[in-house]
Structure formats: structure tokens, C-alpha cells
Structure 1
Amino acid sequence: MAAVIVRRGLAGVTGAAFSAMAQFVLVVVVTRTYPATDAGAFFTATALALMAAGIAKLDAGNGLVYFIARAKTYGYRGISGYLRAALVPCLAVATAAAVVLYPRLGALAVLLPVMVATDVLLAVTRGFGAVRPTVMLDGVLVPACQLVLVAGAALAGAAAWWLPLAWGAPYVPVLVLAAGGLRGRVPRTPYLPGTGRDLWRYTAPRSVAGAIQAVFQRVDIVIVALLAGPAQAAVYTAATRFKVVGQLANQGLAQAVQAGLVRALADGERERAGELYQAATIWLVLLTWPVWLAYAGLAPWVLRLFGPTYGSAVPVALVLSGTMMVATACGMVDVVLTAAGHTVFSLLNLLAAIGCTVLLDLALIPAHGALGAVAGWSGGVLVKNLLPLWQLHRRYGLHPFGRHTLAALRVRDWAAA
């Protein structure tokens, strides 16, 4: 079991590491080339686009993973119906969001349905147990193309308003590749009555939770821009750029074990679910804690890469590093909770987290700028991780560390991989 996590998890985390590095370099290029106000406007625009796409996804991807993983026992019958039932509402919401946000985002808004469709199609491949398409397309190709196009626009002296379009353009070819990768994989079967009802009965709470999660991940940048100005938004984005390492590493490991967790908990095999959870947690800690410790120690030098005015954000980096170490030690608690079918609890947890973040942001940002924003974000992250951790302990006796932790590190598992 651990060997499977090592093999698939390393693929996901490798893609996450590449994506994080590409995004870091992209931020350096933008902050070094454009004034802080223009850089902040670009970061705010991309944050809005990602928030809108995250809401429009309706968390249909995780719903598809759940049903496809369970459908393995009867030959994936009806999978094409689940895909259609997921895509149509998502594209409708994405199109509406594009219309609403077009005055603010311009041509980038037109790409929102493309971003959403790409995410849904890649989720289908993960439901079949294939992590590689997500790693290669979403984890490597998108950030690599974004870096090349944005850096090219910056080096060519393009006006700052070109940057969001350069950032969003790579989603078009990735959508084509994702659709092509499903040819021959999804059996064409008649639409089964009740398919849409079943999918959205499970997914509806997660749709709201997914929207809140998308807002939670990006709302701090938007609030900083509104309350403290785009220059402070640029400083905050640069100082917290490394938080994407934890998010993407968690996502990479989650993509590797999510289908297995769903099957284990559906079959009542808590021991196997606990093994997956603990193995993923120790690898998450080992892969990310060195990053947080290094960032905390080297922040005064790392932040100067963005420009001389960004060195004042060292306290922001310290709060970020400490918070992410606590969060990663909890493991992928929300993934385990939703794999067990508790989507309503997941939704309530996220509501509590975003409520904590917004209240702290409103109280602290006007006086403390970027430092107030990271304090608000930190409070939300702690709520988001500690609440489901307690719920998993109470309901299933599951813990992020235990007797399977050391077994996940045995050398023979590497050989088996």
C-alpha cells in the first residue's frame, strides 16, 4: 500500500514542486519588471479568475472521482452519463461568471469556461486511478507555459494589461489534450435515470464547500488590494508565494490516494483507510517541512529577489511558515472527511474557516497591511485543519500519525515501487 502511495504520490508532488517553482519565478519576473501597483493589479486579476473558476467547478471533479472509483465494481457502467451531468452545470456557471467579470478581467474572463472544463476532464482520469495526466498537464504544462508567456510579455515591454491574457492562454491547449486523453477510456453508455440526481446529491454540499475553498485560497489578496491598495497586495502575494508549495503538495498526494480512500471507507475497511491517511501524512511532512524551515530562515534574502521594497515582509514569511507546518502535520484531513461521505461537515468547517479569515482581515489589514492579512489567513487555516482532525478522531478513530507511519518509510517499499 505504501509503495503505491510513494509511486503515485511522488508523481503528484513532483508536479506540485515544478508548479510552485514556476509560479515563484513568474512572481519574481512580474515584481522585477513592473511597478508594485501594476504587479498588484495583475495578481488581483489572476486571484479573481482562480476564485471564479473554483466556484464554477462546483466541486464536480471530486464528485466524479467518488462515483467513478465506486463504479469500478460494475465495469464503469454509466460513467459517460456522470460526465455529462457534471459538465453542463459547471459550464453554465462558468459562462455566467465570465459575463459578470468581463468588465474587470477583460479577455481573461472568456477563458473561465475553458479552465473549468479542463479541471472536470482531468478529474475523470483520476477517478480511473490515473494521476499522470493531471501531473503532466495541470502540474507541469500549464505553469510552464504561463511562465514562458508572461515572462515573454514582460521582456518584450508589453503593457501590464497583457499579462492576465498571457497567464490564461495555456488553458486552451491543455483542455484539448485533456479531452483527447479520455478517448477510449470513458465507455459510451446510455444515460441512466437518476445519474444526475445521485451525482449532485453527493456533490451539492461539496459544491458550496468548493466555492468557499476557492474563495478562501484567494480572498486575502483581493481584500488586501481593496483595503490597503495594489502595492500592498503585491507585497503580500510575493511574501506568501510559497504557501502554494503546501497546497500543491497536499493536492498531489490527495490525487494519489483519494480513490483508494473512497473504496476503503465505502467497504468499511478503516484499517486500510488509516494506513493511507498516515502514509500520506508522513510523506507530506517530510516533503514540505524542510521548505518551511528553509523559508523561515532565509526569508530576508529570498524576499529581496522580488525587489528591494519587498524585504519588509519577513514577519509575513515567518507566520506563513509556522502555520503551514501545523497544517501539513494534520495531513489531508478534509480529503479523508469527504471520502467518508461527510460533505456537510466539510462545508461547515470551511464556512467557519473563511468566517475567521474575513473577520481577522477586516480587523487587521487596515492597520497592519500584509501582516494583518497573513494573520487572518493563518487563523482560517488552523480552523480548517483542526476541526476535521477532531471530527475524524471522534467518528473513526483516525489519526495523522500512528502505527502505519514508520511502515510508510521502509526502504523495501521504495524497492517495491
Structure 2
Amino acid sequence: MTVAADRSVRGIARGGGLNLAGAVVGQAAVFGVVLLLARVLDQGQVGRYAQAYATLTLLGLLALSGFRAGVTRFVAVHLADDDPAAVRGTVRLALAVSGGSAAVLGVALALAAPWLAERLHDPALTTGLRLMALTLPASTLCEAALAATRGWRSQKAFTLIGQIYEPVCRLLLTAVLLLAGFGLTGAFWAIVVAGWTAAAFALLAVRRRLAALEGAGRTYEARQLFSFSTVSWVSSLASTGLIWLDVLLLGFFANPDVGVYNVATRLVTVAVFVLAPLNAAFGPYLAHLYHRGEMDEVRRSYAAVTGWIVRLSLPAFAALLAFPGELLRLFGGAFAAGAAVTVILACGQLVNAATGPCGTVLNMSGKVALNMADNVATLVLNVLLNLLLIPAHGIVGAAVAWAVSLAVVNVARVVQVRRLIGALPVSRGMGTGLLAGAVALGAGLAVGTLLPSGVVALVCGLVVIAVAYAGTVLALGLSREDRTVLRAILRPKRGVGL
């Protein structure tokens, strides 16, 4: 590994390590929210919460207008070019456009809430939709501001605010309001308060970054920003639609198991919680390296990040495949009906993890139109499969549609990345992880066979999976790259603020 590649890997590892720590806390908080809702509310109310939150997420991406990827990329590029005026102009333009769009969409959602709730066969959803309309400007500004701070190749604000503060605040407020007897409406208000306070902190963080550039003036290179962001916008809408549209379609078909499906999908996302934080750390470095033409470092970084994603994800996948029913029973006995859904979704997400941050490679290397085409085609495939499978097979059909669509788009992207930069997401780390994952899965299945189903089997199984996986990885040995990453994480740079 060259000195430059070593430096890039260390930088990604520092940011990725911080993001991973935040992602663990954030995913635990989100898991806690779902667990609280499932324990305190009935399945219908859990489904109502999921549909309202899906609406907020989809409209948030609509309001962002693609600036989440655009502002990160162009801040990184302008910093590489030592052009502070362009940095200031990019950030201010992104915040103004996305914030204004969110305000307009929020008003529209508030007015259309009764009509939309009726279309989803649930008039009681109106209150939740209106509270999501109130949250929309805050969540959009928070996303845009945190995306801007990542352009400095720093993950602190993104981690501390987006991954730790907002979900933990939402969890604590949800718990307090549910215990106080405010029910589902209280859970919705928890989203509102957490969203607005997180937005305030995010705007303060980006303001501190811009303050260091005072006196540089502002240059608005709107054409290239809007050109990139418009395509990225469509791409993000399609990508997020793939995640949430099945929930809304289940509601459209008046499926009674929307709550079960939502719990199963949230459980499976725990397995790939490492994907988002590592992507967030990888993206700015990739934009910087690609812009400077350092293609060897781009290829090495891509393979390295994919190996980390696979190795960090596989123990969770082994647990999901070995104990799907036992894990779902943590939310209540009725949710165990989603065991088959959990296994199917886990298979789709396993492909997602094994193909690495291929979408980020396309975006940050400027091939955002190609990534958009991938996402739109996949969303169309997902909708068609959902319309075909949900009426006959319910939540299992929705799971199959989602898993197939996710696998198809990621395999296509791997081929495209191979043609673009001549790299495949294959490394020694991936091989080590896959072998250790197979050993851990076998150990978990053995425990499930020997012990009767229940909490004891689950606890013993999780311990055995962790020990088997860690033991196999250590027996196979750590590479030089692994040791570089560990040193970077254990000896972080000091004195870097938000």
C-alpha cells in the first residue's frame, strides 16, 4: 500500500470509526423507538406511525432537491481547489433552496393530509401527517447542513447530531410521552421536537465551518450544482422510494400486517447499519481523490471499505438468519409472524452489503445520471413486483419484491463501477468475513436446533455467533490494512471541532 493510499485509508477509517460509533447509538435508539411502539401500541398504530414516517422521509428527499449528495461533493471539490468563495456560495444556495422547498411541501402536506389519509384507508392518519408536515422543514435543513459539513471530510457534526442526538432525543421523548399517556400522538410530537432541535444544532455546526472562511466572499456556481443535484435528486427519490414505498403500497391495499412488516424491516436494517456511516466517510474522500485523478487510491479505498462493510455486517446477518422468530418476539408475540419476511429481506441486504458503496462511487465520480437511471429502473421494477405480489402474498410478496430489486440494482452497479474505475469490491477482508460468517451461521443454527425456542436459545445463540465469528477472523489473521485501520481508529486526531 502506498503512502498516499495509507493516508486515505486512515482518513476514511477515522471518519468511519466515528460514524460507526454514532451508528451503533443511533440504531439502538431507533430500535428502541420501534420496540416501545410495538410494546405500548397495537399493530394498527405501529403501521400508522410507519406510514407517516415514510411520508416524511419521501417528502424530505423531494425537498432536498438532490443537495445532500451535491453539497457534499462540491464542498469537497472546492476545498480541493482552494476556492473558499465557491464553498460559501454552494452551502448558502443549498440551504436556501432546500429549506424553501421544504416549507412549501410542508404546507401542501398539511392541507392534503385528510385526502391522503383517506387514500391510505386510515382517516386517523391525518394528525400524524400534519405533524410530519410541521417537521419537514427542520429535517430537510438538518440533512442539508450536515451534508455540507461532510464536505470538509469531517464526520463529527454528522455523527454527533444526525446519528446520536436526533434519534436518542426522539427515543427519550417517545418514552416519556407514551408513559404519560399521550399514545401515538405523543410519538409523533417526539419526531417534531427532535427534528427541530437537531436542525438548530446542524445549522450552528455549518455556520462555524463557514465562519472560518469569512472575508472570502461568495461565488454561486449554480449551474454545475443544480445540474448535479437535479439528477441526484431523482436518484435519491427512487432509492428511498425503494425503501419506503412497499409500506405505503401495503397501506394502499389495506393490508392488516403493515405494522408487522415495518418491525421486520427495521430489524433487518440493523444488520447493515454500518453501510450509511462508512458511505458518509468514504464519499468526501472519493470525491477528493477522483477529482485529483488518484485512481489507484480510489480503487484501494473502494475495496477496503467494502471489506469493512462485509466483516462488520455478517455477525448480524448470521443472527437474523438463525433466529428470525426469536428476535421478532422481542417486540411482542404477534410480530413473530414476520419471520419469513425477515429472512427474505436479510438475503437482499446481504447482497447490498457485499457489493459495497458502489452507488457512492458512481455519485462522487460524477456519474450521477447513471446512478439515477439505476435507481429509477429499480424502483419501477419494485413497484411492478409489489403490485403483482402483494395482493396474492401480502407482506411476504412485498419482501420478495424488495429483496429482488435491491439485489438487481447492486449487481448492475458493480458491473458499472468495474467499467468506470476498473475495480471490483473483492478483497482479502471480504473473503475472511464470508468464511467467518458461514462458521458463525452454522454455530447459530446448531444452537437453535439443540435448544428449545425462546429467550435462552436467543441469548446463547447470539453469544455463540459472536464468539465463533471473532474466533474465526482472528484465526485467519489481520492484514496490514486492517492494522492501519485499527491504529487510525484507536489514535484519532485531536482538536477537530464540529
Pairwise same-fold verdict (TM > 0.5): yes
Is 1:25 equivalent to 2:97 in the alignment?
Answer: no
Per-residue displacement from partner, 1:279-322 (whole Å, max 9, x unpaired)?
A: 11011011111111111111111111111111111111111121
Q: Is the 8 A contact 1:153 1:163 kept in 2?
A: yes
Query: 1 CA distance for matches of 2:366 and 2:267?
Result: 31
Question: What CA deviation, in whole Å up to 9, does each residue of 1:177-234 have, x standing for no partner?
Answer: 1122233421244332x511121122211111112222222111111122143x4110
Q: Does residue 8 of structure 1 match 2:80? A: no
Aligned length: 415
Asked if 1:414 is matched to 2:440, the reply is no
Find 2:109's aligned residue among 97, 101, 107: 101
1:135, CA displacement in angstroms?
0.6
Q: Could you tell me which amino acid in structure 2 is paired with residue 344 of structure 1?
A: A
Structure 1 residues 241-250 or 320-329, which shifts more? Answer: 241-250
SS of match in other structure, 1:331: coil
Return the alpha-carbon distance in structure 2 between the equivalents of residues 160 and 168 of structure 1: 13
Question: Distance in 2 between the 1:155 and 1:256 partners?
Answer: 38
* CA-atom RMSD in angstroms: 1.8
How many Å separate the matches in 2 of 1:20 and 1:413?
23
Q: Could you tell me whether the CA contact under 8 Å between 2:311 and 2:429 is conserved in 1?
A: no
2:232 to 190, 194, 206: 206
Give, in whole Å, the separation in 2 of the partners of 1:64 and 1:246.
Answer: 28
- The structure 2 residue matched to 1:80, chosen from 88, 98, 121, is 88
> RCO greater where, 1 or 2, for CA within 8 Å and sep 6 or more?
1
Deviation at 1:335, TM superposition (A): 0.1
Segment of structure 1 superposing worse, 98-107 or 141-150: 98-107
Change (3 A) 1:11 1:184: closer
More displaced 10-residue stretch of structure 1: 71-80 or 209-218: 71-80
- Relative to the length of structure 2, the TM-score reads 0.80
| Greater gyration radius | 2
CA distance in 2, matches of 1:319, 1:52: 28
Whether 2:206 is the aligned partner of 1:179: answer no
How many angstroms does 1:15 deviate by? 1.4
Q: What is the one-letter code of the residue matched to 2:249?
A: I
Residues 408 and 257 from structure 1, CA distance in 2 versus in 1: closer, same or farther, beyond 3 angstroms? farther
- Structure 1 partner of 2:410: 385
Instruction: Determine if contact 1:228/1:365 at 8 Å carries over to the other structure.
Output: no
- For structure 2, the 5+ residue unaligned runs are 1-5, 114-125, 431-477, 490-498
Matched, 1:274 2:299: yes
Q: How does 1:275-314 map to 2 (within 5 A)?
A: 275-314=300-339
The answer on whether the counterparts of 2:341 and 2:399 sit within 8 Å (CA) in structure 1 is yes
Are the equivalent residues in 2 in contact too, given 1:275–1:404 (CA < 8 A)? no
Q: What secondary structure does 2:253 align onto?
A: helix
Q: Secondary structure at the match of 1:241?
A: helix
- Rounded to whole Å, the distance in 1 between the matches of 2:93 and 2:64 is 13
Percent sequence identity over matched residues? Answer: 25
Aligned pairs for 1:2-401 (under 5 A) are: 2-72=9-79, 73-102=81-110, 103=113, 104=126, 105-186=129-210, 187-188=213-214, 189-192=216-219, 195-229=221-255, 231-245=256-270, 248-401=273-426
C-alpha separation in 1, matches of 2:343 and 2:176: 32
Q: Tell me: CA distance 1:341–1:140, structure 2 relative to 1, closer, same or farther (3 Å).
A: same
Q: Distance in 1 between matches of 2:482 and 2:318?
A: 25
For residues 408 and 183 of structure 1, the distance between their equivalents in structure 2, rounded to whole angstroms, comes to: 39
Change (3 A) 1:247 1:190: farther
Quick one: structure 1 residues 288 and 403, their matched pair in 2 at CA, closer, same or farther if it must change by over 3 Å? Answer: closer
**Residues 363-411 of structure 1, C-alpha deviations (whole Å, 9 max, x = no match):** 1111221111111111221122111111111232111114797756432
Letter in 2 for 1:256: A
The 10-residue stretch of structure 1 (84-93 or 44-53) with the greater mean CA deviation from structure 2: 84-93
Q: Distance in 1 between matches of 2:390 and 2:249?
A: 8
Deviations 1:63-101 (CA, angstroms, capped at 9, x unpaired) = 111111111232423222111221222122212221222
Q: Which moved more, 1:77-86 or 1:331-340?
A: 77-86
Unaligned runs of 5+ in 1: none
Contact 2:347 2:403 in 1 (8 A): no
Q: In terms of mean alpha carbon deviation, does 406-415 or 308-317 score higher?
A: 406-415
The alpha-carbon deviation at position 246 of structure 1 amounts to 5.0
Moved over 4 A (4+): 403-409
Amino acid at match of 1:415: R
Moved more, 97-106 or 42-51: 97-106
CA–CA separation in structure 2 for the residues paired with 1:246 and 1:52: 26
Opposite residue 241 of structure 2, the aligned amino acid is V
Equivalent pair of 1:293/1:321 in contact (CA under 8 Å): no
TM-fit CA distance, 1:110: 1.4
Query: What is the TM-score when the length of structure 1 is the normalising length?
Result: 0.95
Code of the aligned partner of 2:45: D
| Distance in 1 of aligned mates of 2:198 and 2:209 | 18
CA drift at 1:56:
1.1
Is residue 91–residue 113 contact of structure 1 (8 Å, CA) maintained in 2? yes
CA separation of 1:214 and 1:323: change in aligned 2, threshold 3 A: closer
Deviations 1:91-119 (A, max 9, x none): 22212221222124112211101110011
In 2: Cα distance, 1:67 partner to 1:257 partner: 15
